[in-house]
Structures are given as structure tokens and as C-alpha cells.
A and B are shown apart, each in its own frame.
Chain A
Amino acid sequence: MLKQIEGSHAVAEAVALCRPEVICAYPISPQTHIVEGVGEMVKSGELEDCEFINVESEFAAMSVAIGSSAAGARTYTATASQGLLFMVEAVYNASGLGLPIVMTVANRAIGAPINIWNDHSDSISQRDSGWIQLFAETNQEALDLHIQAFKLAEELSHPVMVCMDGFILTHAYERVDMPTQAQVDAFLPPYEPRQVLDPAEPVSIGAMVGPEAFAEVRYLEHEKQMRALELIPAIAKEFKAGFGRDSGGLVRGYCMEDAETVIVAMGSLLGTIKDTVDAMRAAGAKIGVLGIVSFRPFPLDAVRAALMGAKRVVVVEKTFAVGIGGILATDIRTAMDGIKILDYTVVAGLGGRPITKKSLHELFEKALRDDLPALTFLDLDWDIVNKQLERERKKRRSGPAAENILRDVGSHVAQHS
């Protein structure tokens, strides 16, 4: 059924269609509308046989999820940014214990300085937490990925993070095709846990494991993710059969047939990039796009196969590893190991900085000319940066950088913070 609704609500409805049994949530922008949505459905009775728990922190949210999942309940939660960081210990624990929790991360920057706007720093910071991470390009895909995520998580007995750009997707009203309950029920069987806390068959979950078996436990976790590399496309295929849509998978190419220049990115940014590429294609540039859906497990083979024919790759990412540069780019480089392709890393959109088609166009043009440095900060205001650097050179105690910069860019911005 087609609906014109907010991204968060679309996700809330999709999650409800998956018949979760326990939902726990702690509010943090921009995830709030999702949990408000499911919360209301539980309270009204629209979503039956489900406990909605307002916890006191994200740490508790993930902990409650661990408990309910281990007790055999299909469990869902959502968070973002600082919230994700606050629950980190439990995030690692959920994957370590192999509990098939599904969590939405409404991607948002991490402070300080505190910033509520979108980038991918939060979920990328959990790159090595053991969770599967799927990135949605559109609200439709966000909705679809949640349905797929439960199936994937429960098949593997492993947690899955569905990442969608905060505000850009979560708060955007778009037309989505909402599946019926019958469709979802046919696709997603009831949760049959692989391990469960059951008085009839008691086990101890969460043993202390020493050097004699720790590495093996970790390897087995890796092995699960490797299995996910096969399972993710299979589930996407099954999803297409049931729902009639391409959604999910490991990677998705666009205009890749003869592309010499490939732009790689994740999430909603792909839409803007595709628009830009369309325009450049129209002007004759042999340029294509590779969207990464599955960031973890990272589909090295699929990426390598997709990039095999390219001359250069431009990775545009909404994250930044201070002190080295790109994060996604590093993984892409690993995929291209041994292939001679020029690669450029572009850090863009941090803390919600708009990524315009104009800027991208200029960027890609430069790339086509191989006129890009290895690491580019898109639309970085060098004037501001240099001013602050100058201040710091002059005065040891030059005041807080963020406040200084805000003063430089103008008071109207300062008032918004």
C-alpha cells in the first residue's frame, strides 16, 4: 500500500509488521519519532503481544534488549549518536552473546561539539562491535531493510543495525510502499531462538572465556558475518520475490557498465550523487556509482568485482577518522588490493553540512581530471580554519575553538545551537 509518510513512521510501521515482542527505547534525536511511533502502536493495542519499555538510558535499552532476546523474544530498539556510544558496552555484549536484536541507528554526528545533525560517525564507530550494519539509501529501503534485518538476525543469531540518515531520512515525508501484514508474515517466520533462557532446559549464557577459547569464539563470530555475505543477497532476492522490490543486498551499482570513474558512498547521499552523475553522464562522462548497503560484513569480493573495470574511485563518506582520513575508503582500498586504480577520499557532510549537487559536480569534475588530493574535505571553509589556527598561534589560551568558529561564521548560527 502506498503511503506518504515520514521516514520514521514508515520504519515504525515496518517494525510493527515484524511482530516484535519487546521494544525498549530511550529518546535521542533524531531517532525519537521511530520509537514514539511503535510506542503508540503498542499502547493503542494496534501492535499486540508486545512490551514497550521506556528505559532510563541507552545502556539500559540495549541491556533490556539483551535480556528479552536471550529469553526468546523478538527484540527491537533504536538509538543514535551519543546514545549509541552510551550503550557501547552492551552493543559489544549483544553481538558477543549472539543475540538477534535489530536496532535502528538514526545516524547523527558525535560530539563534542554537540551536534544533532546527520553524519555516519556514530554507527561507523561501532564498525568493529561485531554487529551487522546495513545502510539505507531511501525511506523505502529503510523500511524494507528492517523486515530483512529480523530475518537475517534470527537466521544467524546475530544482531543487526539498520542505519538511516538522521533527519534526511528519518524526518523526510516520502511516498513508500508499505507491505501488508500477510506479506511480512509470509516472509518472516516467528522467532525460534538458537539459545534461550528456559526453566525446562536450563543453560548458563555468558560464561567467562579465557585464552583457551576466546579467539575461537571471536573467529566463530567472524564466520557468522562471512555467512551473512551469502545470506544478505539471498534474503534480498527472497524479499524481491515477495515484495516486488529491489532492496538491500550487499552493494548496488548505478551506471556502472562502462564507468571509468566510480563514486562510492553509503546512505541517502547516494541520491544526490546519482543526480549529479546523471547530469555528468548526460555531458558524456563515463562515471558510475557504487552504493554500499552492507558495511559489516564488508563485501570485499562484491566491491572488488564492481570496481574491476574502473580507472579511478572516489569514496565520499560522512565519517572521518581523525589522524588518518577515510574509514570507508580504507575498506574500499582493501577490496582493491592489487588492482591499479586511482583512489580519492572525500570527507563530506560532517555534522549535517549540506552536500550540494554543485559541490559534488565540481568535485567529480576534478576527479575526472585527476586533479584531487588523496584526501579532500568537501566545502571546508579554509578561511575559518586559518583564522582559528592563526589565533592559536598567537595566543596560548585562545578560547574554545568551536565557539570561536561560531563567532566567525555569524551569530545567526550561534543562536541555533
Chain B
Amino acid sequence: MSFQPVKFYQTGTFTVGNRLLEPDQRSVQANMERTNSLNSGHRACQGCGEALGARYAIDAAMHATNKQLIAANATGCLEVFSTPYPETSWQIPWIHSLFGNAAAVATGIAAAMKVKRKKGLVGDVRVVAQGGDGGTTDIGFGCLSGMFERNDDVLYICYDNGGYMNTGVQRSSATPPAARTATTMPVGPEPGNPFGQGKFVPAIAMAHEIPYVATATVADLRDLEHKVKKAMTFRGARYIHILVPCPLGWGAASRDTMKLSRLAKETGLFPVFEAQYGEITNSTKIRRLLPVEEYLRPQKRYAHLFGKTPAVETIARLQALADKNIRRYALLDKEAN
């Protein structure tokens, strides 16, 4: 666990709030006065993980920066559902430019703020860039890498829902193997998304040796908030990769958004960890290890694995990926298990 877990308190660490804790130990989301950086009335689908993740992350960043925050947003679901003319859901200074340039736009904002601060015109205004997995791991990757390499003072947050959901659920480089998308249909000898080499951007971010890299899911709010707040204690390039289920794209019930995030982590398919300057410093341990089927089954994008003849081999390959994550990121607590 990347922070002091709450022990012996009925619900411990995992609920959003905990009336038994001192106010300063409670989560940002539990606060009646939370910013609601992403306001009601946005047009995200029911149960949207990205809408939730964005509010969690940006509210936490607002809290950490005393509301001195500007956000740059890549094109994608988050942008489209939050800012269709004539209404915006954002309550913070926010800009959307293009699909692939959020990191660079944020660099520009950070540069402007640096100069203006030097001139005494503004206080310590911090910058976040945010985008989906398409805008981050694919089209925005060049700008992202550039921002990392220059170590610009930007926190980049990727909301990973594993595909181009806004355009109708096409495959991205973050789409997991075997998943059905509109461009990787479950047909032919290798149904669903092919098993490629993978492109795990948190690891690539670590290769840039930037001050802080973390992964998180919307299911573990305290962990997520901790990471955003911690990211804000660093200067330079920071990257947080948040898994956000997409009920539409994953073919899941809208009420299952949290459950699926939890299962992604508990099966080991999505490793949750922190790294500083290229070294892993912490991994959030799996609490109740489960086989990958538990995660795959509730999602229609994997339905073809569970047909009349279950795709045992494919499931085994996915399990192997989870097992590899568990080893590589030390996801099991040796003492506890």
C-alpha cells in the first residue's frame, strides 16, 4: 500500500469516506466542499469510469494546489462529453486544443506560468494535461514523450479505457489482447485484438526517468488521491495512468464500473504501482487474488472467450500476462499470503 492504510475502522481504507477518521485524514471526495471540477450535467454515458476518474483526479489536484490549477485536455470522450457548446462541465481553467497535443499544450501553459510567476504576475499555478488512452499512448505519444524528456512541470493523467470509445470503440495500442473492438472483431483464427508486444506507457514513462510515475484505478480512491497529491509534490514531468472502465466499450453494466476496476487490479491484469526517477518504489498489493476469468466474464468484449467451446488457451495466455505482472510488480504481499 502506498500510504498508511486505515485499520480497524469498519470500512478501513476502501470506502470513499470514513466518518470515524479525523477530517484531515479523509478523502477529498468525501468532503462536502469538494471542488466538483467536473460538474453535473456532463454528457458521459451512465456509469462512465472516465468521468469519475477525471473528477477524482482533478479534485485531488485542485486540493493539492489550493485551486491554482490549469488543465489541458486531449480530444476524446472526456472533452466531448464535458464541453459541447454552449455548456462546459469544467469549473477550472481548461483548454482543449487537439487530439495529439495535450502534453505540449500543457508544456506551453507551464512555460507561460513560469515566466508570469517570475514576473510576479501569478502565484504558483500548476498544470495538468489529461487524455484518454488513444490521445496518450497513440496519437499524443510524441508530445508526451517530448514533455517527459524535457521534464516540463506537467502532470499528465491518462484515463485508460482501452480503446477509442468516442469514435465507436476502435482499437488503440492500449486495447488489451483478445478484446473485441470495432476494428478487432471476434472473427477469424485469432478473434479479438491480437496478442502484440503490448505498449504499457507507465513503463515507458519510467524509462524517461521522470520524477514520478503511478498507476491507479477508480476503484481505489484513496490510493488514487494519494498519488495525485504526491505527484503534485514533485516538480517536473509526472505521469499517472488510471484505469477507467467504459460500460459501452467493454460491454458491461453501468453499475459494474467499480467492480471491473477492482477485478482488473485483483487479478493482476492491471498492476497498480508507483515509481520515482525510473525505479519502482511501491506496488499496491492484491487483496484477494482472483483468476482472470473473474474479470473477463462480465465483459461482452470478451464474450467470445466463453462461448460453446471456451477459449482455454487464450484465457491461459491472459492469465500468463497477469502472472507476469504479479511477478514483475510484486503484486502479492509475501507476508500476507
Contact = CB atoms under 8 A, between A and B. Distances in A.
A110 interface: no
Interface stretch (B106-114, B182-190, B216-224, B317-325): B106-114
Interface string B139-166: 0001101100110100000000000000
A66 B108 contact: yes
B306 to A, nearest CB: 38
A4 B297 CA distance: 75
Interface in A59-100: 59-60, 63-73, 75, 89-90, 93, 97
A64 B103 CA distance: 8
B80, B108, B142 pick with most chain A CB within 10 angstroms: B108
Contacts of B110: 67
Interface of B: 67-70, 72-73, 79-80, 82-86, 88, 90-98, 100-101, 104-116, 118-119, 122, 125, 142-143, 145-146, 149-150, 152
Given A51-B114, A57-B146, A203-B93, A67 B109 contact: yes
Given A63-B105, A64-B105, A204 B83 contact: yes
A51 B115 contact: yes
Contacts of A54: 150
B125 A206 contact: no
B91 to A, nearest CB: 6
B93 A199 contact: yes
A55 B104 contact: yes
Contact of A67 (B80, B106, B116): B106
A208 B97 contact: no
A68 B108 contact: yes
B101 A97 contact: no
B108 A204 contact: no
A49 interface: yes
A290 interface: no
A50 B114 CA distance: 9
B109 A70 contact: yes
B68 to A, nearest CB: 5
A199 B125 contact: yes
A72 to B, nearest CB: 6
A67, A69, A73 pick with most chain B CB within 10 angstroms: A67
Contacts of A207: 83-86, 88, 96
B116 A64 contact: no
A186 interface: no
A247 to B, nearest CB: 29
A90 B97 contact: yes
B109 A56 contact: no
Given A22-B111, A53-B107, A198-B93, A67 B84 contact: no
A67 B83 CA distance: 18
Interface string A208-224: 11101100000000000
Given A60-B143, A63-B105, A71-B109, A89 B88 contact: no
B90, B91, B98, B105 pick with most chain A CB within 10 angstroms: B105
A68 B122 CA distance: 14
5 contacts: A59-B142, A67-B106, A69-B112, A197-B94, A204-B88
Contact of B83 (A21, A57, A59, A206): A206
Given A63-B107, A73-B115, 20 more contacts: A22-B111, A49-B118, A59-B142, A60-B146, A63-B98, A63-B108, A63-B143, A64-B107, A67-B105, A67-B108, A70-B108, A71-B116, A73-B111, A90-B97, A197-B94, A197-B95, A198-B122, A202-B90, A202-B93, A206-B96
B115 A204 contact: no
A67 B100 contact: no
B93, B118, B119 pick with most chain A CB within 10 angstroms: B93
B111 A53 contact: yes
A347 interface: no
Contact of A68 (B101, B111, B119): B111
Contacts of B69: 199
Nearest to A208: B84
A97 B101 CA distance: 15
A197 B118 contact: no
A409 B110 CA distance: 52
B104 A59 contact: yes
Given A22-B111, A60-B143, A202 B97 contact: no
A22 B112 contact: yes
A413 interface: no
